[in-house]
């Protein structure tokens, strides 16, 4: 019995080690997307093959080796593997900075809907809103042209990165991150000294940043934003936190058929955090669409302040899971779709625009409604993660049209920093970019699989932003 127990333990140890370290490349991403496990059935075959081969080898060793020698071999192999795991764990802890105290920031909702009677500049980011889907929806929803009647829709816009992690810092700063140097240092630099903050401060703008996860670790950035505070974070329940951590480990190391029971979402961890901010009694901002919709309906937009105001508001928008109907009501993932989530995103933008009009702050507000990146389905091939066709609509202060304008100018997110300055100067949307319809250019995009940001592939968009066939890899990759 003892030998059988040792054999079973060794088999379990070896198989879970291999699964957690060498068989994770093809696992589905834990990005909130509903996982269609049928696409990953090949992993079941790999798992079965691994376990059968290891089990046969262990049983053969148990039969061939004498009792005490088999015990010594098992102990030796287990000891070596344990040592490797300890070395890896220690190295990870040291290099990741886990031993250092972490800066926690509280992003408050205070003054989210308070506008100035002077000048306002708002950037409303709808996560994962793809311009191809919006173009398609224009045929089904002609009322969108009225909702965005004073805007220019830049249909031929190429984003910069595949996912939010890199896209938002680029939108704020215009600075590329190419996996060179510390990503944390890059983030800190963006939130500390992006040109946009300096420009806004020089014009005496109050800066409010509504982003539910500022990953910066530089305490000085708090001075840049009027609604960001230091906070202490404690778990609501250590037991529930341990359960979620255990599921995360299981997703990586467990056999294939058990992984589906170990799926976690970031929101679960967020719900287990209790924040104790210093200097604010307001609740924390959340990117949740429902929270924004309900808070806007309850409070409305108020224009009773003086001085210039800037607001950056990042919502979940059309990001997975797709749980909204076209009116931004929660319907559940079984009934939801990406198209409905796009419609819900436009509903949120429409509600905000109407609230601005009702408050009287619409005309003196420069407003950008945009995506951080586009969407190209839920595949697993490299081209599925291009997501280059990002939504971009712009309205300048006091800008008016009979209907929404559509521009085919070849715009890149590299052009945004200059556009911000021109909007602050009072330019209308047709004058914020130098590029015009009929111009041709190549636009850069860095692609990676979400969760594998350490391997970026450079593409050039040589045609229309919405055309995947003209996205051409340059051969350059950026690894860290």
Each of the 480 residues of the chain gets a pLDDT tens digit; together they read 788 899 999 999 999 999 988 888 778 877 666 677 877 888 899 999 999 999 999 999 998 988 889 999 999 999 999 998 899 888 877 766 655 678 889 999 999 999 999 999 999 999 999 999 999 999 999 999 999 999 999 999 999 999 999 999 999 999 999 999 999 999 999 999 999 999 999 999 999 999 988 989 999 999 999 999 999 888 888 888 888 889 989 998 999 899 988 888 766 777 777 778 888 888 999 999 999 999 999 999 999 878 999 999 999 999 988 999 999 999 978 899 999 999 999 999 999 999 999 999 999 999 999 999 999 986 666 667 889 999 999 999 999 999 999 999 999 999 999 999 999 999 999 999 999 999 999 999 999 987 789 999 999 999 999 999 999 999 999 998
- Per-residue model confidence as pLDDT tens digits over 170-190: 999 999 999 999 999 999 999
- What pLDDT does residue 305 have? 77
Domain residues of the chain, as ranges? 2-96, 105-230+284-437
- What pLDDT does residue 289 have? 96
What's the sign of the alpha-carbon dihedral 218, 222, 228, 233?
A: positive
- What pLDDT does residue 380 have? 60
- What pLDDT does residue 207 have? 98
Q: Taking Cα atoms as reference points, which of 185, 193, 194, 195 lies closest to residue 216?
A: 185
Architecture of domain 105-230+284-437: 3-Layer(aba) Sandwich (3.40)
- What pLDDT does residue 213 have? 83
Encoded tokens for 435: 């590029």
- Per-residue model confidence as pLDDT tens digits over 63-90: 898 888 999 999 999 999 999 889 988 8
- What pLDDT does residue 117 have? 96
Give this prediction's pTM: 0.85
């Amino acid at each position: 019995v003892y030998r059988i127990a040792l054999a079973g333990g060794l088999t379990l140890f070896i198989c879970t080690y291999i699964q957690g370290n060498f068989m994770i490349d093809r696992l589905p991403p834990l990005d909130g997307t509903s996982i269609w496990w049928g696409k990953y059935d090949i992993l079941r075959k790999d798992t079965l093959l691994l376990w059968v081969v290891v089990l046969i080898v262990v049983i053969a060793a148990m039969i061939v080796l004498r009792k005490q020698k088999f015990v010594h071999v098992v102990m030796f192999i287990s000891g070596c593997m344990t040592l490797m795991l300890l070395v890896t764990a220690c190295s990870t802890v040291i290099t990741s900075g886990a031993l250092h105290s972490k800066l926690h920031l509280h992003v408050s909702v205070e003054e989210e809907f308070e506008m100035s009677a002077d000048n306002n500049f708002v950037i409303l980011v709808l996560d994962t809103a793809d311009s191809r889907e919006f173009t398609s929806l224009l045929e089904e929803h002609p009322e969108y042209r009225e909702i965005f009647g004073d805007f220019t829709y830049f249909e031929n816009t190429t984003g910069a990165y595949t996912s939010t992690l890199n896209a938002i810092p680029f939108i704020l700063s215009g600075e590329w991150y190419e996996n060179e140097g510390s990503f944390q240092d890059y983030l800190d630099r963006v939130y500390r000294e992006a040109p946009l903050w300096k420009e806004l401060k020089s014009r005496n703008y109050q800066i409010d940043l509504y982003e539910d996860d500022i990953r910066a670790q530089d305490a000085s950035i708090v001075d840049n934003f009027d609604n960001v505070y230091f906070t202490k974070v404690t778990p609501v329940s250590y037991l529930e936190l341990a359960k979620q951590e255990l599921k995360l480990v299981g997703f990586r190391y467990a056999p294939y058929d058990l992984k589906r029971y170990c799926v976690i979402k970031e929101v679960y961890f967020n719900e287990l955090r209790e924040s104790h901010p210093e200097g604010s009694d307001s609740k924390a901002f959340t990117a949740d669409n429902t929270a924004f919709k309900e808070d806007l309906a309850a409070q409305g937009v108020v224009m009773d302040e003086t001085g210039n105001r800037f607001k950056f508001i990042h919502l979940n928008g059309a990001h997975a899971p797709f749980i909204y109907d076209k009116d931004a009501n929660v319907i559940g993932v079984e009934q939801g779709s990406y198209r409905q989530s796009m419609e819900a995103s436009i509903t949120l933008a429409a509600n905000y625009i109407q609230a601005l009009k009702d408050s009287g702050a619409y005309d003196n507000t420069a407003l950008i409604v945009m995506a951080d990146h586009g969407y190209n389905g839920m595949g697993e091939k490299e081209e599925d993660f291009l997501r280059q066709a990002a939504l971009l609509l712009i309205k300048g202060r006091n800008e008016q049209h009979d209907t929404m304008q559509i521009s085919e100018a070849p715009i890149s997110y590299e052009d945004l920093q200059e556009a911000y300055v021109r909007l602050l100067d009072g330019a209308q949307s047709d004058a914020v970019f130098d590029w015009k319809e009929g111009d041709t250019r190549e636009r850069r995009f860095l692609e990676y699989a979400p969760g594998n940001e350490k391997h970026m592939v450079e593409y050039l968009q040589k045609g229309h932003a919405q055309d995947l066939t003209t996205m051409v890899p340059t051969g350059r990759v950026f690894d860290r």
